[in-house]
Amino acid sequence: MDDATVARPRTPQRGWLPVLLSAAIGALLGSSLFVLDYAEGLSYLSDDPRACANCHIMRPQLDAWQRSSHAAVATCNDCHTPHDPIGKYLAKARNGWNHSVAFTLQRFEEPIRIKPANLAVLERNCRGCHAALVSEIVGHEDEVLGCVRCHRDAGHPPAS
């Protein structure tokens, strides 16, 4: 048998596709980590109210909360996120995405207004914390009495 008839194993040719794919994944991962660090993204997983003011537009809300009677007993998450861990972090993820898109693209209304889904969470939390006080008022399911209808400034009072 001569060398011409023996099948030679094919050596795989390395193309540019794996290199480009690796570079793209590396660039995406690197830029994502940079943005996460720059935006102090991990702080949003905490209960620290200062995280809510990472974005300068929320500074008035933080300042108002610090003047409120709620500052001594409740953080932002106590009022604005569900109290179960899964619901809390799902709400944080949804709001984080919505806020980052709105602020990055500068597509938000001023003054900032609470959205209906977040208002429902706030209402549920108000009623939960103040259940003994409001049990007779909110006992009628057919009536829609919102706490913030009368107590709009309870957690964020205006400056005196």
pTM confidence score: 0.72
pLDDT at 31 over 70: yes
CATH number belonging to the domain at 22-150, selected among 3.30.70.100, 1.10.287.130, 3.40.50.300, 1.10.3820.10 = 1.10.3820.10
Give the CA count within 13 Å in the CB-facing half-sphere of 30.
Answer: 6
Mean pLDDT across the chain: 84
- pLDDT, residue 89, reads 93
> pLDDT (tens digit, 9 = 90+) per residue, 36-67?
888 787 888 888 888 888 877 788 889 999 99
pLDDT at 108 over 90: no
> pLDDT (tens digit, 9 = 90+) per residue, 65-97?
999 999 999 999 999 999 999 999 999 999 888
Candidates 94, 10, 80; CA nearest to 47 is 80
CA distances to 30, 40, 69, 113 from 61, rounded to whole Å, are: 33, 19, 14, 11
pLDDT at 137 over 90: no
Residue 72 tokens, joined = 């001594």
Match 């604005």 to its residue by tokens: 80
Domain spans, the chain: 22-150
- pLDDT, residue 26, reads 96
